[in-house]
Amino acid sequence: MDANFLSPNALIVQSCTMNDIEKVIEKVTSRLLDEKLERMCATLQSADEATENGIYKRKDAARKLGVSLVTLDAWTKAGLINCRHVGCRVYYTPKDIEEALKKNYNR
C-alpha cells in the first residue's frame, strides 16, 4: 500500500470510467483557465484606464506587459523597450509597449 494513501489529500476513485475522469479534469481545467483569463483581462483594462495623456507609468507598463518592475527595468536597460524620461521619472507610450511585445514574443 502506498504511504500517501492515508494522506488527507488522497483520493479514491471507484466505479468511474477513464472518460468520466477526463471530463471532470477538462471541466475543472477549463474553469480555472477562464478565471485566470478574466483576471488578466481585468488587469489589462485597469492598466488601460490608468494611462494619462497616452503614457504609462512604470508600474502600469509592467502590468500591461505582464512582467515585474525588475524585468521592465532590465528590458529598458537592454534596449528591448524604449522609454521616455520626464525629469527623473520614466514613462512608456503605448507604441513602446506594443513594439516591445512584438520584439520579445516574436523571437
Residues 85 and 39 in one domain: no
Q: What is the span of the domain harbouring residue 93? A: 51-107
Tell me, yes or no, whether 29 and 74 share the same domain: no
| Pair (46, 62) in one structural domain | no
Instruction: Tell me how far apart the alpha carbons of residues 82 and 61 are, in angstroms, rounded to a whole number.
Output: 11
Per residue in 49-84, pLDDT (tens digit) is 556 667 899 998 998 888 899 999 999 999 889 999
Residue 49 is predicted with a pLDDT of: 55
Q: What is the pTM of this model?
A: 0.51
For residues 20 and 17, give the distance between their C-alpha atoms in angstroms, rounded to a whole number. 5
Q: Are residues 56 and 41 in the same domain?
A: no
Q: Are residues 55 and 31 in the same domain?
A: no
| Digit-coded pLDDT (tens) for 6-64 | 677 777 778 888 898 888 888 888 888 888 878 777 766 655 555 666 789 999 899 88
Determine the Cα–Cα distance for residues 90 and 69; give it in Å rounded to an integer: 12
